Amino acid sequence: MKYLKHTFIILFLSVAVNSFGQGSGYYNLGMQLMMKNDFKGAIAQLEKADAKSPDNPNISKMLGYAYFQCKEYEKSITAYSKLITLKPTDNSAYYYRGKGRLNIANDPKESLNSMRDNFYLSAIKDFSKAIELGGEEDVQLLQNRGIAYKDYAIFKSFKIKKSADKLACNTLFNSAISDFQKILVLQPQRKDILDLTKYVKAQIASLK
């Protein structure tokens, strides 16, 4: 996936050449720790950088990623929401915010049952926005949105009480299949996607 493949190197070098304010020292320390996969240590430095330079999108981006790696999803969502405010065309922000929301939705311990619908819907919306900005040739985005559709459909399937509920589940499952099929057009040998497609079709059949 292209979002953060070169981010650490590019941002680190650019900041080393162009200091962006009082928080640059903390930011550089945070980046060094992230390069060592010390995300907790990076968070401590990046939070200090954010306090000094609260409107810097690079800090928000790296802080959101560090929180995500530490599974502090609510804080990650907050950081990426701030990044979206500062830089609304950054599709990686929508991607990781969507990932955080999906992780919370899939963990009943992390969210009240009544709120899980909102987390699923918000995750799907974030992935859709990332696809709008990044293009439908990005299979990682399609895969994650497809999984979000699948997971949300499974969640809703446990609450089916009438035919309209079943129809809603089928719509979500079919949306998942649509995304998976787009991936298979680009990467036809993806066994994991083929298996996901078969699984979703089996779920649809079980609702009949």
Tens-level pLDDT at each residue, the chain (208 residues):
445 544 444 444 444 434 455 557 899 999 999 999 999 999 999 999 999 999 999 999 999 999 999 999 999 999 999 999 999 999 999 999 999 999 999 997 766 677 899 999 999 999 999 999 998 899 999 999 999 999 999 999 988 888 889 999 999 999 999 999 999 999 999 999 999 999 999 999 998 7
Tokens for 35, please give them: 């390069």
- Final residue belonging to a domain, choices 88, 116, 131: 88
- Domain of 172, in residue numbers: 90-208
From the list 131, 134, 113, the residue with the least C-alpha distance to 175 is 131
Residues 186 and 205 both lie in one domain: yes
Q: What is the pLDDT of residue 23?
A: 58
Give the number of domains in the chain: 2
The answer to whether residues 107 and 192 belong to one domain is yes
Check whether residue 129 and residue 199 sit in a common domain.
yes
- Sequence-distant (6+) residues with CB within 8 A of 168 are 156
Nearest CA to 26 out of 55, 78, 63, 80 is that of 63
- Give the three-class secondary structure for 151: helix
User: Do residues 3 and 47 both lie within one domain?
Assistant: yes
- Cβ atoms of 80 and 43 within 8 Å: the answer is no
Residues 121 and 160 in one domain: yes
Q: Which residues of 127-144 are buried (b: 16+ CB within 10 A; e: fewer)?
A: bebbbebbeeebbebbbb
Residues 80 and 157 grouped into a single domain: no
- Residue 122 sits in the same domain as residue 60: no
pLDDT of residue 208: 76
Query: What is the rounded distance in angstroms from the CA atom of residue 47 to the CA atom of residue 156?
Result: 38
Domain finish residue from 36, 70, 88: 88
